[in-house]
Structure 1
Amino acid sequence: MTTRVNLTGTISVSHAGDEMRPEDMSGVIGRMILVRLSRSNYAISRTALVDDLWEGLEPQSVDSVLDATCSRLRKALTHIGLPGKEILISTGGLMQLRWPVATKIDFSEATRFIDNAEGTYKRGDYAVATKEATIAYSIAQRPLLPGINREWLIRDRSHLRSISERSVQLLCDSWREQGDLQSSLLMANKLMELTPYSEVAIRKLICSYVSLGDKAAATKVLNDWKTVLAKELQIIETREIEDF
């Protein structure tokens, strides 16, 4: 039986038809523990985990809070048929989540799918690349513990954003290769939203409009881009459509 762990969007753990939902995770600290340890490929020290969870603002009874939270998490995992004590391990001053073999964690799946999609695209299998990139994007665009700000979460969110950008860029190219110019244009616009200063994004957007025979729209988005660069970055861009 495959265990599935969703760290993005609505955090959950699914196993054998049962599901551990956010309300089963002992509050914000419990959800952060699941995400932080699931994102680590190795055990981390208890001290480092405390620093990551509270960033210097831990309560006086931090050890008791951490122990109680982990105990409730183990019980919740056991309730859905998983060996909670064998999964959430705390020993020798180290803590680790050891998910069962073949567990699918959405964050890792997003990385795997976009890596595969880029390789598939290079081999010319555009339809499969499109499917893989779509899956990667569908995961990466979901929020990660919204409303909670920690340094490690900023890094993880940045990684998800990178996957989103790579996915959208590939989708723009793969739809074009398959002759679906409207879908390619849609992805070019999405890439522009994600990376408003990017030359890659404006180039793809201009090419999409030109391919559709809409030079007026291509001219407008280029002029809008120049205005944004000048106003927000103090960069004067002089190239015209033909230069892209």
Structure 2
Amino acid sequence: MNLHAWQRNLQASILTASDQIQQPLNQGNISRERKIAIYADGYFLRLAEALQSNYPALFQILGDDDFYTLARAYLSAHPSSHPSIRWFGDQLATFLAHGQPYASVPVFAELAAFEWALRHTVDAADAPLLTLENLQAIPAGDWGQLSFKLHPSLSILSLQWNAPKVWQALMAEQTPPEPQCLPQPCLVWRKPDLSIHWRSASPAETHALNLLASGANFSSICEALLSDDINDVPLTAAGFLRTWIEQGLITTA
């Protein structure tokens, strides 16, 4: 067996926790199977540790044993494929939403989605922010065709449960509230001082933000807001835009 084949089989043995080398090794006092099991356990524990780092509140609410059971099930369904361990767990919210027994407690999936959005703000790209002065310098006749870009750290979550409140209590080492169906869009982003912020948003506001993300111009956003039963659409849209600029959600790039 050549070196490449041996390395490939060793990797497969570690990933599957089964002996796929099928070649005599210098075993010493420890069997080959035991050596492979040690490496396989170490590999899993390192990934489980990364998952715990990305989802600390979910870890707290599940507890050690159930969280590590979840980690094994998730690893089996979504083997680590990114060169950076930072990205292990990017599909966990979807996994929880559709896999049993976790899907029967939908707040788990939404808590994971919220925590992943918080994590995303840490290493999202930076971008220069649009200011009110920039906006005032735009000729009135150009407003209809204006389009804006959202800050790379911004996540727009359509939550149906009180996951942010659960997270907040867990991070404060308090007893979390009972899961409650509470449909409420949520925005998560990073400010220039590197602080992480989140807040609830109205359906009309998230509608407008999603349109911005798709490249729609200001005129198209105003037209779309007509379907949201907004009384004064131009004033509402202008108010949204001012808030987004003041909170650092819109960039010039």
The answer, yes or no, to whether TM exceeds 0.5 is no
Larger helix proportion, structure 1 or 2? Answer: 1
Normalized against structure 1, the TM-score is what?
Answer: 0.31
Q: Which has the larger radius of gyration?
A: 2
Normalized against structure 2, the TM-score is what?
Answer: 0.30
